[in-house]
């Protein structure tokens, strides 16, 4: 019988890799929790806990059932159960934040496409002039000045573009004077 407590050499790097989106404090809290579970008098608790997490990671156990199963495993250890719930809560918050950020990026892309479609709909060569303004060697302020000239006869489009730059944090509000109304 082969005992495989350690991964093979080829698996070792990814097995011990720490998540890059977790802070050092979060990793330490998780390790501390696992150490406490492992040091319990009843050694089967750690094994059952590890099996539940493995089942969850392999998607053979739902998140809801994982929480129920861990609650049952740690039923006589209120402090550890509370720490587990806190770790899961922190993880859920982090995942929700990631999802919100993905939605924000998507909305920026959608806003850009809508704006470019509006430019193209003017039918006055504005779309091409707008895109050509990006072919320069200046900073964002110089770009905004160039686009101010391109959009000079289209106040609504100019304001929409300015709002987009500010919302995307590409332009600070104190630079509003650069994109002024005619």
Residue-level pLDDT at 104: 65
Residue 31 three-state SS:
helix
Distances (CA, A) of 15 to 29, 34, 54, 56, 155: 19, 16, 13, 17, 56
Q: Is the dihedral of CA 33, 34, 36, 37 positive or negative?
A: positive
Can you tell me the distance from the alpha carbon of 107 to that of 100, in angstroms, rounded to the nearest whole number? Answer: 10
Residue-level pLDDT at 39: 92
Distances (CA, A) of 113 to 108, 127, 148: 9, 12, 19
Domain positions in the chain: 21-101, 122-178
0.85 exceeded by the pTM?
no
C-alpha count within 13 angstroms, C-beta hemisphere, residue 55: 16
Q: Residue-wise pLDDT tens for the chain (182 aa)?
A: 454 555 444 444 344 444 556 678 888 888 899 999 999 989 899 999 989 888 888 888 888 888 899 999 999 999 999 999 898 888 778 777 776 776 666 677 888 888 888 888 887 788 888 888 877 777 777 888 888 888 888 888 888 888 777 777 777 765 444 444 33
CATH topology of domain 21-101: Paired amphipathic helix 2 (pah2 repeat) (1.20.1160)
Distances (CA, A) of 101 to 89, 94, 106, 132, 178: 18, 11, 9, 30, 29
Distances (CA, A) of 6 to 11, 18, 33, 56, 106: 9, 16, 21, 21, 42
């Amino acid at each position: 019988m082969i005992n495989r407590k350690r991964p093979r050499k080829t698996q070792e790097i990814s097995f011990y890799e720490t998540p890059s989106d977790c802070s050092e404090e979060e990793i330490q809290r998780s390790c501390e929790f696992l150490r406490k579970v492992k040091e319990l008098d009843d050694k089967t608790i750690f094994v059952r806990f590890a099996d539940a997490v493995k089942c969850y990671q392999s998607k053979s156990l739902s998140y809801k059932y994982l929480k129920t199963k861990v609650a049952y495993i740690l039923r006589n250890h209120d402090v550890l159960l509370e720490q587990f719930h806190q770790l899961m809560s922190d993880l859920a918050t982090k995942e929700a934040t990631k999802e919100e950020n993905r939605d924000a990026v998507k909305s920026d892309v959608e806003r850009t496409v809508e704006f470019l479609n509006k430019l193209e709909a003017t039918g006055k060569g504005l779309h091409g002039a707008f895109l050509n303004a990006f072919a320069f060697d200046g900073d964002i302020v110089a770009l905004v000045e160039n686009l101010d000239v391109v959009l000079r006869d289209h106040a609504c489009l100019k304001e929409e573009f300015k709002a987009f730059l500010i919302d995307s944090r590409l332009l600070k509000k104190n630079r509003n004077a650069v994109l002024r109304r005619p």
